[in-house]
Amino acid sequence: MRDLHLSLNQTQRVRLQAALDQLESDASSTAAAAASVTVADTIPVNHEDNILKGHGTSDLDGQVVATLCGVVERVNKLVYVRALRSRYKPEVGDIIVGRVIEVAPKRWRLEINFSQDAVLMLSSMNLPDGIQRRRTAVDELNMRSIFIENDVICAEVRGFQHDGSLHLQARSQKYGKLEKGQLLTVPPYLIKRRKQHFHHLEQYDVDLILGCNGFVWVGQHVDTTTKESTLLSDEPSDKEETNNAVPPETRRNICRIANAIRLLSVIGLTLSVESVTETVEESVRANVEINEMLSAEFYVQTVEREAQRRASLVRKRR
C-alpha cells in the first residue's frame, strides 16, 4: 500500500504529533510487559535447563542475544523471538486471496504475496457441475473456463510439498473466483490469524475477506446458496443476467470500505472487521466524502481516535 502524501497545516501537525506521542507511550508500556527486545539485547535464560535457541536468537559469549526486534516467546525449553513486523509465512489452514498468473497442466499458479508462487491443483477444487469425480482430460482442456490469468481467487492453504511448493485447495462454495470488487494489498503483519476471515457486512451488502497473506478483498455480497445453484445449472438464468451490474450504492460502499482499509494500513493499525466498520461509520457520521477519507484532516482524526481508545484501555487495566 502506497503511503499517503499529506499536506498538513500547522494545527494538524501539532494534533498529529500529540496523538503519535500518546500512541508511542501506550505501545511502550504494553511492549515492556510483553518482554520486547531489539537486536543485540540479552535474553535472560537459565542455562541449567538446557534451553533450545530458536528463531531470532543467537549465542554470543555464552549469552543468548536477540537477532530480531520483537517479543520473546517461550515454549517449554524453546526460546525464540516473534517479530512484530515480518513477511507472510504460510501455515496450513490459512485463508488467502491470490491472483492467477499461469494456467499450467492440471494446475493454476497464483501470486499470493509470498516468496514463491502457490499451486492450486485441478483435483483440489470443486468442478462447476458440483459432482465429485475423477478429473479427466476433458476437465483439463476446460480449465480456462474456470479460471484464467488475472482472476482473483480465494482459497485455503493445504500444505507444502517435498519440493517446497505451496499447495492450495478450494473445496467449498465460499472459495473460488472473486468478482465485482476491489483487491487491496496491505502488510501481512496487519492481519492477525482469527477463526473467521470471511465477513458479510449486511448494512452495506458487501463481502470482506481478510487474507492472511495481506491481500484483502472488498466486493459485492455473494450468497453461497445462489452461487451453488448457478454452478449446477448449465446456462445462466435471466435473473442473473439482469442483475449482473453492481448497484451504484453498493459501489459507493465498496469504495468507502476500501478507503478505510487503505487509511488504516497507512497508519499501521491492525486490520479487523471491527476497526474497518468503525472507520467507515465514523466517516459517515462526520459527513466525509469517499475521496476525502484519504485527506489530511480525516487521517489526523483517525489517529486521534485510536490514541483515545488505547488510553482508555490502559486506564481500565489500571
Residues 102 and 72 in one domain: no
Neighbours of 235 (CB within 10 A): 7
The pLDDT value recorded for residue 231 is 44
The answer to whether position 287 is within a domain reads yes
Mean pLDDT of 38-61: 82
3-state helix, strand, coil in the chain (%, to 5): 35, 25, 35
Domain count, the chain: 3
Residues 108 and 131 in one domain: yes
* Cα–Cα dist 270/306, whole Å: 11
- What three-state secondary structure class fits 224? helix
* Cα–Cα dist 167/178, whole Å: 19
* Radius of gyration (C-alpha) of the chain in whole angstroms: 23
* Domain-terminating residue out of 159, 178, 197: 178
Residues 43 and 67 in one domain: yes
Q: Name the residue type at position 145.
A: S
Residues 275 and 226 in one domain: yes
pTM assigned to the model: 0.82
Q: Place 220 in a pLDDT band, splitting at 50, 70 and 90.
A: very high
DSSP 289: -
The answer to whether position 305 is within a domain reads yes
- Where does 28-127 show beta strands of DSSP type E? 36-37, 52-53, 57-60, 63-66, 70-75, 78-83, 95-104, 107-111, 118-125
Query: Which three cell numbers mark 32?
Result: 515492556
Q: H-type helices in 88-183, by residue range?
A: 137-141
Lowest mean pLDDT among 1-15, 175-189, 278-292, 299-313: 1-15
Residue 157 lies in domain: 92-178
* Cα–Cα dist 58/71, whole Å: 15
Residues 116 and 221 in one domain: no
- What three-state secondary structure class fits 204? helix
Residues 301 and 187 in one domain: yes
Residues 124 and 191 in one domain: no
Residues 306 and 282 in one domain: yes
pLDDT digits (tens, 9 = 90+) for 177-190: 999 999 999 999 89
* Cα–Cα dist 48/34, whole Å: 24
207 pLDDT more than 90: yes
Domain of residue 42, CATH code: 2.40.50.100
121 pLDDT more than 50: yes
141 close to 105: Cβ distance less than 8 angstroms: no
Neighbours of 61 (CB within 10 A): 6
33 pLDDT more than 80: no
- What three-state secondary structure class fits 100? strand
The pLDDT value recorded for residue 84 is 73
* Domain-terminating residue out of 61, 83, 105: 83
Of 199 and 225, the structure prediction assigns the larger pLDDT to: 199
* Alpha carbon separation from 298 to 16, 286, 294 (Å, rounded): 11, 9, 7
Residue 177 burial class via C-beta count within 10 angstroms: exposed 0-12, middle 13-18, buried 19 and up: middle
Query: Which three cell numbers mark 143?
Result: 480449465
